[in-house]
């Protein structure tokens, strides 16, 4: 089917990324519909599920087969699945993957997952969060499958699958496995909402609103991921009364890109946490290609070319653009601009 990006040099990469994210999202929906999500704890105590591993296996399979030379920097690895202790989890991951990749055996699935363990960006490197917002997934709230292509350290293409996000906030995401909404962006060309069947539903455009009385913000549900109190101080300084929308995952970027919020604040809680590239690359491009702006709390552009972490950035501020300088000035005035 014709797409608005057909003439772009990265058109085939975008089609590949959309197909991979669609299949991974189907797997996530199928796992979520079961009673047992197969939760393990990683070394840092954060949760990981059968769906995280399965989604990473499916996306990495496509990248390995179609773009074998490209690096892949993804969140998960198969270490935990290879030992005897988690044989049951591995069996479930394999059976979920087989629904979309018939014939895959356990060794192949682990090999696909581990295809995503590159450390450093090659000239072309994909970054994948198979389930961004795992805590949202566990609560049956928002989560996202996030895939982006970095070329020489710059985000060139981004795709988000948001299986629990309807076309508008509050709308149902639909019942079947291809439900939810998908977002595609190409640097310099644009951003689109894409249906579960793969057709473009609408071009994305940020909200033109800049009147404080009408501004809407979103932020993480998890208080460990952002300083909710500092965001409240920013809103008070700008005279914004509306309570923020709390949404897990990069679905927040989709909400800003489609004009349902003017801002997204992710404010450091102290300590030396550095944001991960797979948590922001795709979402950042979806917002900027829809006409918005994304920087860190000091107003610096996000730098994706230094490995896993955004080592030169602190926190994230996404906006409709019009608001951006005022937000950065408010953060500076309140002493939240980072180091």
Residue 229 binding ligand AMP, by CB under 6 A = no
Contact 251, 279 (CB under 8 A): no
Residue 49 binding ligand AMP, by CB under 6 A = no
Closer CB to ligand AMP, residue 30 or residue 42?
42
Q: Could you tell which of Mg ion, ligand AMP, none binds residue 225, using a CB distance below 5 to 8 A set by kind?
A: ligand AMP
User: Which residue, 294, 336, 338, is CA-closest to 312?
Assistant: 338
Q: Between residue 278 and residue 337, which ones bind ligand AMP under the rule CB under 6 A?
A: 279
Q: Could you tell which of ligand AMP, Mg ion, none binds residue 29, using a CB distance below 5 to 8 A set by kind?
A: none
Instruction: Supply 323's token pair.
Output: 């608001």
Residue 127 binding ligand AMP, by CB under 6 A = no
Interface residue with Mg ion, options 129, 219, 275, 296 (CB under 5 A) = 129
Residue 270 binding ligand AMP, by CB under 6 A = no
Residue 132 binding Mg ion, by CB under 5 A = yes
Contact 261, 218 (CB under 8 A): yes
Instruction: Supply 74's token pair.
Output: 């993804």
Q: Could you tell which of ligand AMP, Mg ion, none binds residue 62, using a CB distance below 5 to 8 A set by kind?
A: none
Closer CB to ligand AMP, residue 136 or residue 259?
136
End-to-end CA distance of the chain, in Å? 48
Burial of 68 (0-12, 13-18, 19+ CB in 10 A): exposed
Give the DSSP H or E segment for 228. helix 228-238
Q: Which of 134, 226, 288, 295 is catalytic?
A: 134
Residue 171 binding ligand AMP, by CB under 6 A = no
Residue 133 binding ligand AMP, by CB under 6 A = yes
Interface residue with ligand AMP, options 89, 164, 207, 220 (CB under 6 A) = 220
Residue 76 binding Mg ion, by CB under 5 A = no
> At how many degrees (to 10) do helices 324-333 and 228-238 cross?
110
Instruction: Supply 222's token pair.
Output: 């998890």
Contact 157, 285 (CB under 8 A): yes
Residue 248 binding Mg ion, by CB under 5 A = no
Q: Is 52 marked active-site?
A: yes
Q: Which of 13, 52, 129, 132 is catalytic?
A: 52
Contact 144, 180 (CB under 8 A): no
Give the DSSP H or E segment for 325. helix 324-333
Dihedral pair phi/psi, residue 87, rounded to 5°: -60, -35
Burial of 167 (0-12, 13-18, 19+ CB in 10 A): middle
Closer CB to ligand AMP, residue 102 or residue 271?
271
Contact 330, 216 (CB under 8 A): no
Residue 43 binding ligand AMP, by CB under 6 A = no
Q: Could you tell which of ligand AMP, Mg ion, none binds residue 273, using a CB distance below 5 to 8 A set by kind?
A: ligand AMP
> Looking at the annotation, which residues are catalytic?
52, 134
Residues that bind ligand AMP (CB under 6 A): 132-133, 136, 220, 222, 224-225, 248-249, 273, 276, 279
Residues that bind Mg ion (CB under 5 A): 129, 132, 279
């Amino acid at each position: 089917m014709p797409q608005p990006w057909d003439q772009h040099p990265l058109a085939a990469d975008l089609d590949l990324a959309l197909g991979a994210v669609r299949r991974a999202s189907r797997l996530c929906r199928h796992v979520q519909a079961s009673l047992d999500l197969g939760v393990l704890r990683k070394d840092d105590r954060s949760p990981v599920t059968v769906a995280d591993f399965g989604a990473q296996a499916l996306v990495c399979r496509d990248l390995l087969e179609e773009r074998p030379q490209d690096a892949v920097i993804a969140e998960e690895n198969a270490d935990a699945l290879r030992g005897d202790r988690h044989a049951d989890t591995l069996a479930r991951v394999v059976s979920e993957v087989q629904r979309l990749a018939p014939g895959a055996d356990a060794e192949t699935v682990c090999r696909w997952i581990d295809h995503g363990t590159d450390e450093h960006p090659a000239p072309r490197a994909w970054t994948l969060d198979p389930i961004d917002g795992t805590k949202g997934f566990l609560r049956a709230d928002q989560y996202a499958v996030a895939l982006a292509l970095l070329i020489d350290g710059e985000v060139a293409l981004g795709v988000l699958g948001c299986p629990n996000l309807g076309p508008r906030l509050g709308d149902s995401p639909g019942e079947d496995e291809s439900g939810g909404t998908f977002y595609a962006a190409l640097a310099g060309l644009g951003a689109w909402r894409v249906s579960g069947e793969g057709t473009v539903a609408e071009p994305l455009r940020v909200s033109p609103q800049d009147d404080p009385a009408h501004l809407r913000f979103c932020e993480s549900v998890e208080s460990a991921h952002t300083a909710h109190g500092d965001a409240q101080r920013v809103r008070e300084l700008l005279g914004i009364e509306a309570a923020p929308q709390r949404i897990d995952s990069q679905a927040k970027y989709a909400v800003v890109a489609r004009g349902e919020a003017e801002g997204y604040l992710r404010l450091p809680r102290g300590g030396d946490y550095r944001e991960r590239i797979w948590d922001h690359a795709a979402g950042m491009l979806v917002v900027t290609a829809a006409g918005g702006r994304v920087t860190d709390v000091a107003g610096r552009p996000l730098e994706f070319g230094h490995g896993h972490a955004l080592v030169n950035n602190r926190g994230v501020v996404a906006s409709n653009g019009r608001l951006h300088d005022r937000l950065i000035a408010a953060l500076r005035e309140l002493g939240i601009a980072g180091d």
